């Protein structure tokens, strides 16, 4: 589709990274976002006092773009007419293709197959690696040295569509979830518009994924953040890098639950000591794993405020017999 007219597309997404890409596309005269699909507003509290719109909805409303917020797109007996009407309205916008990034719900074939060029999805891994819900965290958990974005055709099987394009983002030893997320965001905003333009012009051949090489990543659970001093330092450090932000790294000190905050710029010390033992160096708390010591800059007891390591030492005076318990 080589034309001077803006490319008519829809945008499907929900969180901040989706909103950032939507804003980028709205600022690019080569695209015309005809409508947006996002998840419904969430209650601000358990009592339902007020609602919180998704970041994507905020951007779309500010730009005056129609927004759809279906509870589900799956056709059921009780919502047959509602889903059919939604599909009819979307067809009326006559978009060339759908752009999906972290929408968060299953999109049935009737929806993604309707436009001339179907639907395409940006996924934050080098597919077929790390299909699933948490590719950023799992890239760190597995100790990858690089990751990136894959643009894939939407299919009914999760993250299994043909690959259209990919980018590469290096992962440094000091990267944690926060820094890698930012690097991926920057990479996406820089490359996505040109990739989508090439797709609209038929310049991206679809390459089937080798499903025999596929790996999968689950949703992140609180239990995954449990400290384990019996693991090797590298395995434990990869966990710290991936999960410190969410759900956090948790352990137990003198029978009380604590959350640990790492210092990602401090070096690991290749020194053997009793697993879980505590060592103080340069105002940091080093905790022993099976084969090395890992550095932490703060600690937080459950129900208390986060405290620096010097404050922890003054208040609790840990001794040689103290251990962080798994």
pLDDT-derived band at 49 (thresholds 50, 70, 90) equals low
Q: Say if residue 50's pLDDT is above 90.
A: no
- Both 30 and 82 in one domain: the answer is yes
The answer on pLDDT for 8 being more than 80 is: yes
Q: Is residue 288 part of a domain?
A: yes
Q: Residue 66: pLDDT above 90?
A: yes
Neighbours of 216 (CB within 10 A): 14
Enclosing H/E stretch for 189: helix 177-200
Judged against a pLDDT cut of 70, whether residue 69 lies above it is answered with: yes
133: pLDDT confidence band, cut at 50, 70 and 90? very high
Domain holding 310: CATH number?
3.10.25.10
Q: What is the pLDDT of residue 3?
A: 58
Quick one: pLDDT at residue 73?
87
In a domain, residue 1? The reply is: no
- Residue in the structure block whose two tokens are 């643009």: 151
Same domain (yes/no): 207, 287: no
Q: Are residues 126 and 198 in the same domain?
A: yes
Q: What is the dihedral of CA 145, 149, 153, 157, to 10 degrees?
A: 50
Q: What share of the chain in percent tops pLDDT 70?
A: 97
The reply to whether 20 and 114 lie within a common domain is yes
Say if residue 239 is preceded by a cis peptide, omega within 30 of 0. no
Boundary residue ending a domain (196, 217, 238): 217
pLDDT in tens, 9-28: 999 999 999 999 999 999 99
Predicted pLDDT of residue 146: 98
Domain end marker among 217, 235, 263: 217
Mean pLDDT of 71-86: 83
DSSP letter string, 195-228? HHHHHHTT----B---GGG--EE----GGGGB--
* Whether residue 133 sits in one domain with residue 231: no
Co-location of 65 and 149 in the same domain: yes
pLDDT at 157 over 70: yes
Instruction: Report yes or no: 40 and 52 within 8 Å, Cβ to Cβ.
Output: no
pLDDT digits (tens, 9 = 90+) for 202-213: 999 999 999 999
CA separation for the pair 34, 47 (Å, rounded) = 35
What is residue 244's predicted lDDT score, i.e. its pLDDT? 94
Residues 71-82 have a mean pLDDT of 81
| Helical (H) or strand (E) element with 240 | helix 233-243
Q: What is the mean pLDDT of residues 304-317?
A: 95
d(CA 218, CA 141): 12
Same domain, 289 and 193: no
Task: Say whether 170 sits in a helix, a strand or coil.
Answer: strand
Do 112 and 226 share a domain, yes or no?
Answer: no
Report the Cα–Cα distance between both ends of the chain, in Å, rounded: 58
Residues 144 and 259 in one domain: no
**Domain shared by 208 and 226, yes or no:** no
Please tell me the predicted confidence (pLDDT) of residue 4. 77
Question: Is 171 a member of any domain?
Answer: yes
Position 254 pLDDT exceeds 70: yes
Question: How many independent structural domains does the chain possess?
Answer: 2
Report the half-sphere exposure of 48 (CA within 13 A, side-chain side). Answer: 0
Q: Residue 234 domain-assigned?
A: yes
Average pLDDT over all residues of the chain: 94
Distance (Å, rounded) from C-alpha 28 to C-alpha 263?
39
Domain membership of residue 85 as a residue range: 7-217
Same domain, 241 and 190: no
Domain CATH number, residue 25? 3.40.50.170
- Asked if residue 154 is part of any domain, the answer here is yes
Q: Is residue 280 part of a domain?
A: yes
Note every long-range contact of 69-78, with CB atoms under 8 Å and residues 24 or more positions apart, other chains counting: 69/37, 69/38, 69/39, 69/40, 69/41, 70/37, 70/40, 70/105, 71/40, 72/105, 73/105, 73/106, 73/107, 73/108, 73/111, 74/106, 74/108, 75/108, 75/110
* pLDDT value of position 81: 87
Give pLDDT tens digits for 288-308.
999 999 999 999 999 999 999
- pLDDT score at 47: 59
Average pLDDT (129-147) is 97
* Closest C-alpha to 185, from 45, 55, 36: 55
Does residue 156 fall inside a structural domain? yes
Of 5-9, 29-33, 103-107, least confident by mean pLDDT is 103-107
Over the range 229-241, which residues count as b (16 or more CB within 10 Å of their CB) and which as e?
bebebeebbbbbb
């Amino acid at each position: 589709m080589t034309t001077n007219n803006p490319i008519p597309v829809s945008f499907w997404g929900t969180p901040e990274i989706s909103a950032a890409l939507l804003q980028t596309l709205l600022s690019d005269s080569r695209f015309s976002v005809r409508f947006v699909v996002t998840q419904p507003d969430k209650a601000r509290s358990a009592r339902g006092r007020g609602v919180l719109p998704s970041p994507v909805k905020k951007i779309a409303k500010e730009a005056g773009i129609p927004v759809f917020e279906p509870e589900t797109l799956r056709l059921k007996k009780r919502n047959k007419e509602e889903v059919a009407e939604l599909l009819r309205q979307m067809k009326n916008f006559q978009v060339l293709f759908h752009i999906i990034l972290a929408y968060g719900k299953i999109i049935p074939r009737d929806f993604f197959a309707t436009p001339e060029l179907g639907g395409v999805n940006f996924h934050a891994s080098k597919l077929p690696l790390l299909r699933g819900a948490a590719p950023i965290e799992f890239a760190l958990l597995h100790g990858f040295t690089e990751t990136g974005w894959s643009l894939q055709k939407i299919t009914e099987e999760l993250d299994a569509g043909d690959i259209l394009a990919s980018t590469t983002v290096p992962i440094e030893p000091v990267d944690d979830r926060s820094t890698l997320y930012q690097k991926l965001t920057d990479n996406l905003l820089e490359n996505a518009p040109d990739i989508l333009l090439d797709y609209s012009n038929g310049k991206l051949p679809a390459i089937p994924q080798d499903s025999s090489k596929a790996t999968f990543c689950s949703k992140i659970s609180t239990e995954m953040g449990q400290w384990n001093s019996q693991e090797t330092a590298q395995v434990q450090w990869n966990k710290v890098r991936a999960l410190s932000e969410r759900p956090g790294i948790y352990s137990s000190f003198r029978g009380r639950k604590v959350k640990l905050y790492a210092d990602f710029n401090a070096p690991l010390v290749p020194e053997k000591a009793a697993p879980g033992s505590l060592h103080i160096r340069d105002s940091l708390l080093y905790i022993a794993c099976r084969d090395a010591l890992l550095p932490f800059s703060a600690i937080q007891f459950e129900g208390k405020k986060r405290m620096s390591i010097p404050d922890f030492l003054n208040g609790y005076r840990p001794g040689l017999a103290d251990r962080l318990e798994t």
